[in-house]
């Protein structure tokens, strides 16, 4: 499988916004910090700032929001945080990922996480903190397939049980 993780570009607008809409009404946001009606070029520029650690809103950390592409088709995304703030250290972890519903169960999340772990390591992040809801069997399986060692299962800030894993990269 040739899955590529790369920055979102101007050409991704239609597919990325379609995915963003498809995730509305789910607990997961496909395009972090994107707001309805935001010009796509402005959003893409904000992602470049986020990668470089420029103009970050108070409390935000540098990181990369990346498109996961297979044969030119957007199938998912990854968010790799190069640092942790208090919230990420407690709940969010270093890496978030999502696969668009019609492309699930093809090993894409596993491929996304493997590459995201390499990128985190290249930015000096080790070990990597990964979290998922205790009920999210798919995500827990993906994390364990990528070497995640379970640290704990406990309630998050809303009382929802979640798992904390570490991966030594």
Ligand X SMILES: CC(C)(COP(=O)(O)OP(=O)(O)OC[C@H]1O[C@@H](n2cnc3c(N)ncnc32)[C@H](O)[C@@H]1OP(=O)(O)O)[C@@H](O)C(=O)NCCC(=O)NCCS
CB 165 within 8 A of CB 130: yes
CB of 99 to ligand X, least distance (A): 4
CB 74 within 8 A of CB 68: yes
Site residues (vs ligand X, CB under 6 A) = 28, 97-99, 104-110, 132, 136-139, 141-142
Closer by beta carbon to ligand X, 42 or else 71: 71
Closer by beta carbon to ligand X, 41 or else 160: 160
CB of 76 to ligand X, least distance (A): 6
Sheet with strand 128-133: strands edge to edge = 128-133, 161-167, 149-155
What is the Cα–Cα distance from 119 to 66, expressed in whole angstroms? 11
**Could you tell me which of 76, 86, 80 has the C-alpha nearest to residue 65?**
80
CB of 98 to ligand X, least distance (A): 4
Closer by beta carbon to ligand X, 8 or else 97: 97
Closer by beta carbon to ligand X, 25 or else 105: 105
């Amino acid at each position: 499988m040739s899955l590529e993780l790369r920055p979102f570009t101007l050409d991704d607008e239609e597919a990325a916004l379609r995915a963003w809409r498809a995730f509305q009404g789910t607990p997961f946001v496909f395009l972090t910090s994107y707001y309805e009606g935001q010009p796509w070029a402005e959003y893409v520029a904000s992602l470049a700032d986020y990668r470089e650690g420029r103009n970050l809103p108070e409390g935000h950390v540098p990181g990369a929001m990346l498109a996961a592409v297979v044969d030119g088709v957007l199938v998912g995304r990854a968010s790799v945080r190069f640092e942790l703030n208090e919230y990420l250290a407690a709940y969010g972890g270093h890496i978030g990922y999502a696969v668009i519903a019609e492309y699930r169960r093809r090993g894409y999340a596993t491929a996304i996480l493997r590459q995201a772990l390499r990128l985190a390591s290249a930015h000096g992040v080790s070990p990597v903190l990964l979290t998922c809801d205790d009920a999210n069997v798919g995500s827990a399986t993906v994390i364990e397939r990528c070497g995640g060692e379970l640290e704990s299962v406990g309630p998050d800030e809303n009382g929802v049980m979640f798992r904390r894993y570490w991966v030594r990269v």
